[in-house]
Amino acid sequence: MTMPDSNKQSGMKDEILAGEYVLGALPPDVHEQLTRRIRQDRSFALMVSRWQANLQQVAFEEQATHTAYAGKLQTQTAAIAMMQARQHATKRLTLAYLWNSVRFWRAIAFGAIFFAVLLSFMN
């Protein structure tokens, strides 16, 4: 059975109104009119409930995606913090190693003596 064009257009209009009602994209006066219509028109109420169920599923999937992204972001942030801590510790370790290194101080002493002898020959 085919529907006349006016009924198709009316059904499409109702579908759009139901979606906008659920999204909250309607002005307050139109929203109030549709709230009254939901109480009286069973088919329109079913459209609205279908829209609510569909959008609730989308919202749930988006929340799951957001939660997964937030968890991944926390993991990446923790990994970056650990790498930075290691780099900082390596720098401190390098400075401590040089400060406590006998070879380093011998090289400095040898260089200072060489420089002093060089200066004494220049005068």
pLDDT in tens, 41-77: 999 999 998 888 887 776 666 666 666 556 666 777 7
Residue 94 resides in a domain: yes
Residue 1 resides in a domain: no
Residue 24 resides in a domain: yes
pTM over 0.85: no
Provide the angle, in degrees to the nearest 10, between the axes of the packed helices 5-23 and 28-40: 120
In whole angstroms, what is the distance from residue 32 CA to residue 8 CA? Answer: 24
CA 20-25-29 angle, to 5 degrees, is: 95
Higher local confidence (pLDDT), 97 or 32: 32
Residue 87 resides in a domain: yes
Residue 2 resides in a domain: no
In whole angstroms, what is the distance from residue 6 CA to residue 9 CA? Answer: 5
Domain residues for the domain of 29 are 7-122
Residue 23 resides in a domain: yes
In whole angstroms, what is the distance from residue 49 CA to residue 19 CA? Answer: 10
pLDDT of 119 above 60: yes
* Number of separate domains in the chain: 1
